[in-house]
Homo-oligomer: A and B are copies of this chain.
Amino acid sequence: MKQFISVYDVPNINALVEKALAYKANPFADRQLGADKRIGLLFLNPSLRTRLSTQVAARNLGMEAIVFNVDKEGWALEFEEGAIMSGNTVEHIKDAAPILGQYFDILCIRTFPSLKNREEDYSEMFIHQFIKYAGVPVVSLESATLHPLQSLTDIITIQEHYRTQHTKRKPKIVLTWAPHVKPLPQCVANSFSQWINAWGEADFVITHPQDYELAEQFTKGAAITHDQDAALKDADYVYVKNWSTYNDYGKIYENDPAWMLTEEKLKASNNAKVMHCLPVRRNVELSDEILDSAHSLVTQQAGNRVWAAQTVLAELLQSGK
C-alpha cells in the first residue's frame, strides 16, 4: 500500500480487517515498526476522534506523531496551479507539501469540501495536489468526498460483531439518511457506499428522501430506495448519516423529522445494530432511545478507529521497507 485515499488503494479489505482485530487484541505487537519514524497530522478542519485515534495508533507503533492545525496555527494554503497570490492565501501547497515531506515519513491530512462548487470538491484537488507534491505516503483523514479510515473502521466493526452471530448468511446493511440542522458533506455516505460495494459481502441498501441521491460512482451496486421502512426490513446493520444534496449541490431540500430512526422503525429489522460515525446530533439525527440502547454500536465503532488507523500506518511502514 502506497497511500490511503480511497478503497482503491486497498488490495484486500478482509486482510486489513484481520490485521486490525489482531492489533485490538495486542496493541503493542508492532511497537518497534515505527521507531525513528514520524507522522505529521495536518488539519484544515477540526477533528476529535480522527485526530486522537491516529495519534494513539501511531504511538502504538512507536512513531512520533505531530499535529498541526493548519487553519488555526498556520495560515491559509493556496491549491490552484498558477495562482497570483495577492489575496488571502499565504503559502502554496507546492511549497508547503514537499517541505512537510522532508520533515515526516508519512503525512495525514484532513480537508473538507466547500459544498459550494461541486466540480471543485469532487475533483479532490486539495488532497491530490498534496499527494503530488508531498513525496511521502499520504493518508486521508477525510477529504472533500471520502472518509476511508471511517469506512475501514465500519467494516471492522461490522465483521467483529457479525462473527459473533455464527451465521453464513450475508448481512443486510442499510445506509439511511437522517435529518440534520445544517448542510453536511457527502463524504461518510460516499465512502461507506464505496467500501461496502467493494467489499461485496453484504446485501446493501441505501435509503434517503427524494433529491438526496448520492453520486453513482460510489453507490453503484447498492439497491436504492426512498422507502425507509422497506429498506429497514430484516436489516442487520443500519448506518445512520445525514448528507446534503449532491445534484443541486450542498443544499437541504427537505428535512423531515420522520426520517429520524426510532425503536419503532427498528422492529421490522433483524434486531439491527445501529452505527454512526459521530459526532451525532442526539434527538435530531438519532434518538436517545436508540443511542442509549443495546442496538447502538457507536462507541465500539469509534473505539475501532484506533485499530483501523494503526493497520493503515503499519501497512504503509511495511510497504516502505
| Chain A contact residues, CB within 8 Å of chain B | 28, 36, 38, 40, 43, 46-49, 51-53, 55-56, 59, 64, 66, 68-70, 72-75, 78, 82-87, 90-92, 94-96, 98-100, 102-103, 181, 278-284, 288, 291-292, 298-299, 302-303, 306
Q: Quick check: B282 and A92 within 8 Å, CB to CB? A: yes
Residues B86 and A281 in contact, CB atoms below 8 Å apart: yes
User: A91 with B52: in contact, given A99-B302, A284-B86, A299-B102 (CB under 8 Å)?
Assistant: no
- Assess whether B95 is in contact with A280, with CB atoms less than 8 Å apart: yes
Is there contact, CB below 8 Å, between B52 and A94?
Answer: no
**Closest B residue, CB atoms, query A283:** B84
| Contact assessment for A49 and B99 in the assembled complex, using a CB-CB cutoff below 8 Å | yes
Report chain B residues within 8 Å CB of A302.
95, 99, 102
**Complex A-B, nearest 3 residue pairs according to Cβ-Cβ distance, in ascending order:** A91-B279, A102-B303, A85-B281
B53 touches A103 (CB 8 A): yes
B91 contacts A278, C-beta separation under 8 Å = yes
Closest to A98 in B: B299
Q: Tell me whether chain A's interface is mostly helix, strand or loop, or mixed.
A: mixed
**What is the distance, in angstroms, from A111's C-beta to the closest C-beta of chain B?**
16
Of chain B, the residue at the smallest CB distance from A279 is B91
Whether B292 pairs with A95 at a CB distance below 8 angstroms is no
Question: In the docked arrangement, what's the CA distance between A92 and B78, Å?
Answer: 35
12 contacts between A and B (CB under 8 A): A47-B74, A48-B91, A48-B96, A72-B72, A83-B283, A85-B283, A91-B279, A92-B282, A95-B279, A102-B303, A103-B303, A103-B306
Q: Which residues of B contact A98 (CB under 8 A)?
A: 299
Please determine whether A299 and B84 come into contact, CB atoms closer than 8 angstroms.
no
Contacts of A96 in B (CB 8 A): 48, 278-279
| Cβ of A161 to closest chain B Cβ, rounded Å | 16
